[in-house]
A = this chain, B = another copy of it.
């Protein structure tokens, strides 16, 4: 029976990767740069997306967002819609991560040809999302200063294979014991040379450096 269960898991994983690869083809076909954004609950994923939208909206960049939530609440997608961008809410039905088929379903509801940047806000969780490819061009984690400096050591899988690490809530550094060297050392072991942007979505500090990185990757649309 144990062998049988392993087979089922392998089947699920293969099906996920196959659909992830189809998702990537759709992003490429529509010239849409896509990001899988992961973090703990409350690290600032939605605030980070909103800061990005507010900075790029005047330049005519079209941003779409897929919001992953474990409960049928629209708190985050309402905020994105209020910022004038299309948001699709995916309710995972209690599951702790998004997977490629969920993204496939959401893409059918988005005007992908008109979207330059698609941000997938994964479920707030440092464990499960690491195991599921969605097909995006890049994977980004937001770490948050109040979570503490030991997170790379405790949740290593989420830091592996990342393209960018955002370190959010640096405005709280004066009030929190956070050893940045210890934190960065933990990240470096898992992901040598990883691009990091310390930011505060509240004050706007550091956001420009992130935008410089991002805009280089956005496609030039006709």
Q: Which of A16-24, A48-56, A68-76, A100-108 contacts B (4 or more CB under 8 A)?
A: A68-76
Q: What residue in chain B is nearest A126 (Cβ atoms)? A: B41
Q: Are B155 and A41 in contact (CB under 8 A)?
A: yes
Choose from B70, B144, B172 the contact partner of A155 (Cβ within 8 Å).
B70
Q: Which A residues between 17 and 73 are near B, CB-CB below 8 angstroms?
A: 40-42, 69-71, 73
Residue of B nearest to A39 (CB): B41
In the bound complex, residues from chain B placing their C-beta under 8 Å from that of A153 are 71, 73, 75
* Size category of the binding interface on chain A: 35 or more
Min CB gap A52→B, angstroms: 18
Chain B residues within an 8 Å CB radius of A124: 40, 126, 154-155
Judge if A133 is at the interface, Cβ distance under 8 Å: no
Partner of A169, one of B76, B95, B146, B150: B146
